[in-house]
Amino acid sequence: MSVRTVRPVRTAIAAATVAAALTATVLVPASAAVAAPAKPSRAKPGHAATQQALDAAVAAGVPGAVAQARDGRSRWTGTAGERRGHDRYRVGSITKTFTATVLLQLQTEGRLDLDDAVEKHLPGVVRGNGHDGRKITVRQLLNHTSGIYGYTEDPDLQKRVFGPEFLEHRYDTWTPRQLVAVAMTHEPDFAPGTSWNYSNTNFILAGMVIEKVTGRPYGKAVENRIVKPLKLRATRVPGTDSRMPRPNSGAYSTLGGETGAPTYDVTELNPSMAGAAGEMISDSNDLQTFYRALLKGRLLPPTEMRELTDTVATGMPDLRYGLGLMQQKLSCGKEVWGHGGGIHGSSSQAQVTRDGEHSLAANLNADWTGDTQSVVEAEFCGTAPKKR
């Protein structure tokens, strides 16, 4: 497939951050919660660079950072600032890998084919301003080659999910059809299959396909097919529930402002804005269990595993995209698979080597500063972030 990037793409984290932010009251503007002094943890041998990356994030203004890593049978947990090693957090676009896995399982069972037209399962939904669900496949939703406009790029919607308007709308409920309808008011980014661009609309539609095929919300399929079998006790698909389970260390945002802007507690929000593209809650232990099981072939048979990991170019030289799954080549030459995720007040990474043996999941409870990619580089390459 020939792909070209037609406009600058946000990272998965940035796109998902737009994708799932809702709010209704201003909680304590922040300085007290955010300015807590860092309490660096001592890293075990082999994870010193990872701990340094967590400490660097807190030094940059993140209230707290947490990471867990597994290498074979060895396990390590690191924290910085005001965090616990078993904190729950919103995982943003990491949700996409769960959604894609369910669709691949449904294909295994013969209940759909990823090369089905979207129109077959969602008649009349993808129509308007040049969008045509008859020409777009389910596979193209999952690898972001559909060309469908990302609803989180809509300027009017952005006003409601960023800045002060977020505080008025944090508990609003959005249906998948409403989100897709926003996208349909814009022209496509490109003709299906001719390029690549990250679009949260793709995975809202993917969740709708799951619901049409199974007769139940996509979240029930995720719970029954992945969460329960893998015993992911910290993992939830919250739907419209704005609460965060405990333990958690809160989530903080400048609501689109730069470093130094007032900071707000945005722990509670209605995640229906993100849906199947980014609503889930988990912790670092569960995320590693999921990605390790996935890459080891415990959730999909060989044929579907090949499809999951069949990647397309993204326009970024060290990043390719499979089906809800990223393939990333790090600075040291190592290859990892996983996804990043962002939502107001939360930035996450979950990555694993192709053999499923070395994994990392990390979270920063802020969305205006800090660098989760440096945590990934530190864990897999042993490279500590440079001091500024």
d(CA 185, CA 187): 7
Q: Which residues contact 241 (CB under 8 A, 6 or more apart)?
A: 270, 271
Give bridge partners of residue 78 from the DSSP assignment.
67
> Tokens standing for 207?
């969740």
Alpha helices (runs of H) in 175-275, residue ranges in sequence order: 176-184, 200-214, 218-222
CA 134 to chain centre: 28
Long-range contacts of 85-88 (CB under 8 A, 24+ apart): 85/284, 86/234, 86/247, 86/283, 86/284, 86/285, 87/247, 87/248, 87/249, 87/283, 87/284, 87/363, 88/234, 88/244, 88/245, 88/246, 88/247, 88/248, 88/281, 88/282, 88/283
> Tokens standing for 258?
């730069």
Question: Is 170 in contact with 345 (CB distance < 8 Å)?
Answer: no
31 tagged catalytic: no
Q: Where does the chain show beta strands of DSSP type E?
A: 64-71, 74-81, 89-90, 127-128, 131-132, 252-253, 264-265, 281-282, 312-316, 319-321, 326-329, 335-343, 346-352, 358-364
Closest CA to 209 of 322, 304, 307, 133: 133
Closest CA to 324 of 150, 107, 108, 93: 93
Write down how long the chain is: 388
Residue pointed to by tokens 């007290």: 32
Number of neighbours of residue 201 by Cβ within 10 angstroms = 28
The catalytically annotated residue of 2, 31, 74, 93 is 93
Question: Is 208 in contact with 119 (CB distance < 8 Å)?
Answer: no
Question: Is 109 in contact with 288 (CB distance < 8 Å)?
Answer: no
Q: Which residues are catalytic?
A: 93
